[in-house]
């Protein structure tokens, strides 16, 4: 993070005196600043680019957005922790002693399986710390997305999710000074909200960490059926017992409620053995076999 020039700081101060960290819209900001549309847009854009402002969606509106300023306290703390640091990982290490967070999603999965390079970095944080994280992580070339407000430009994307829970942080794993969502929580999230890529991440974690995952935790989860189906399919694709019969039986102990397990909107033609396993686990499965086959081909020797 770099401090803003005096002329921009004066405009920030004028807005902060009026709004503090409360949301405001463009039209009101224009009145407060006293500039035309072009200069007001420039001011807000520069404040956002320097980590002193972010956009949020107006509840119940699809497109309408508001602006929120980062507090001076958050900006100063971010500046203090990021002195001479530009690398995101170094900043995360610097914040680890004072703030709770967890690198999540594909970036965390990559830390466990080293398989698929992530397209962005997802980080779970507490909502109360949002201003600090934006101020800390915003740099030239880095785009910050917040919850359902996506990045507007291309570049390295850091997606902040204000949904960190005490349970998720308690299970987070610190690797090289950075907190990552646990492998078990990643598998559960990827299976609960599957697409081809997230399911491949879950499979890659299960294959590369078959000996050290907390399978008991996974077997007691609300997606035990889906995981049981997945590891049986993997055994069939590998053509040997990667996951033991005893382990698979753990997942069969929960009552199997009929559910849909799908990553595709199209109705797919699946091998007969997939249908047989889906019936066993009381699942309506619609997942391309290539998802399982690719992981086996790439990760199982």
CATH number of the domain enclosing 45: 1.10.10.10
Identify the weakest region by mean pLDDT among 10-19, 78-87, 130-139, 248-257. Answer: 78-87
Count of domains for the chain = 3
| pLDDT tens digits, one per residue of 51-105 | 999 988 776 665 678 999 999 999 999 999 988 788 999 999 999 999 999 999 9
* Residue range 224-239, pLDDT digits in tens: 999 999 999 999 999 9
196 — phi, psi (to 5°)? -55, -40
Among residues 2, 53, 51, 46, the alpha carbon closest in space to that of 25 is found at 53
pLDDT for residue 280 is more than 70: yes
Estimate to the nearest angstrom the gap between the alpha carbon of 163 and the chain centroid: 10
H or E element, residue 170: helix 166-171
pTM of the entire structure?
Answer: 0.90
Burial of 134 (0-12, 13-18, 19+ CB in 10 A): buried
pLDDT score recorded for residue 62: 57
Any domain includes 170: yes
Same domain, 111 and 133: yes
Rounded CA-CA distance 105/172 in Å is: 13
In a domain, 1, yes or no: no
Range in 55-64, 129-138, 170-179 with the lowest mean pLDDT = 55-64
| 22 found inside a domain | yes
pLDDT value at position 154?
Answer: 73
Residue pair 13/91 in contact (Cβ under 8 Å)? The answer is: no
Instruction: Kindly list the distances between the CA atom of residue 213 and the CA atoms of 7, 26, 197, 223, 272, in Å, as whole numbers in the listed order.
Output: 54, 49, 20, 16, 30
**What SS3 class is residue 54?**
strand
Q: What is the mean pLDDT of residues 199-222?
A: 96
How much is the pLDDT for 298?
Answer: 92
Going by pLDDT thresholds of 50, 70 and 90, the confidence category of residue 141 is confident
CB-based contacts of 214: which residues, under 8 Å, 6+ apart? 184
**Distance, CA of 238 to CA of 232 (rounded, Å):** 10
Show the tokens assigned to 147.
């919850």
The structure tokens listed for 121 are 């970095």
Mean pLDDT value of segment 262-276: 92
Structural domain span for residue 46: 6-69
Q: Say yes or no: 264 and 174 in one domain.
A: no
CATH number of the domain that 78 lies in? 3.30.460
Rg, Å, the chain Cα set: 23
Percent of the chain with pLDDT over 90: 84
Query: Would you place residue 150 in the very low, low, confident or very high pLDDT band (cuts 50, 70, 90)?
Result: confident
Q: Are 124 and 164 in contact (CB under 8 A)?
A: yes
Residue with tokens 């907390």: 214
Distance, in Å, from the CA atom of 138 to the CA atom of 51, rounded to the nearest integer, reads 5
pLDDT, position 60: 61
Residue 189 and residue 290 share a domain: yes
Q: Are residues 121 and 146 in the same domain?
A: yes
Name the pLDDT band for 149 (thresholds 50, 70, 90): confident
Give the whole-angstrom CA distance, residue 245 versus residue 146.
Answer: 43
Residues 110 and 59: beta-carbon distance below 8 Å: no
- Last residue of some domain: 137, 164, 181? 181
Position 83 scores a pLDDT of: 82
CB atoms within 10 A of CB 157: 17
Check whether 1 has a pLDDT greater than 80: no
Q: What is the pLDDT at residue 63?
A: 65
CB 120 within 8 A of CB 159: yes
User: Residue 29: is its pLDDT beyond 90?
Assistant: yes
């Amino acid at each position: 993070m770099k401090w803003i020039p005096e002329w921009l700081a004066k405009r920030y101060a004028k807005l902060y005196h009026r709004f503090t960290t409360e949301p405001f819209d463009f039209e009101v900001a224009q009145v407060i600043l006293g500039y035309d549309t072009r200069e007001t847009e420039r001011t807000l854009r520069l404040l956002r680019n320097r980590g002193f402002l972010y956009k949020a969606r107006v509840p119940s509106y699809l497109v309408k957005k508001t602006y929120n300023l980062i507090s001076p306290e958050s900006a100063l703390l971010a500046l203090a922790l990021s002195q001479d640091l530009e690398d995101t990982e170094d900043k995360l290490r610097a914040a680890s002693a004072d703030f709770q967070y967890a690198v999540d999603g594909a970036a965390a999965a990559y830390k466990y399986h080293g398989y698929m390079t992530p397209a962005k970095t997802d980080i779970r944080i507490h909502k109360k710390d949002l201003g600090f994280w934006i101020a800390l992580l915003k740099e030239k070339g880095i785009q910050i997305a917040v919850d359902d407000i996506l990045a507007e430009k291309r570049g390295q994307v850091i997606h902040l999710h204000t949904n960190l829970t005490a349970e998720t942080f308690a299970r987070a794993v610190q690797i090289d000074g950075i907190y990552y969502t646990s492998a078990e929580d990643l598998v559960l999230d990827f299976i609960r909200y599957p697409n081809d890529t997230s399911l491949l991440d879950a499979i890659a974690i299960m294959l590369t960490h078959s000996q050290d995952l907390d399978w008991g935790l996974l077997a007691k989860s609300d997606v035990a059926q889906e995981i049981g189906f997945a590891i049986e399919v993997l055994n069939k694709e590998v053509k040997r017992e990667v996951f033991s019969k005893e382990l698979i039986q753990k997942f069969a102990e929960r009552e199997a409620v009929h559910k849909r397990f799908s990553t595709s909107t199209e109705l797919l033609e699946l091998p007969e053995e997939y249908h047989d396993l889906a019936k066993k686990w009381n699942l309506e499965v619609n997942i391309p076999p290539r998802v399982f086959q690719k992981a086996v081909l790439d990760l199982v020797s």
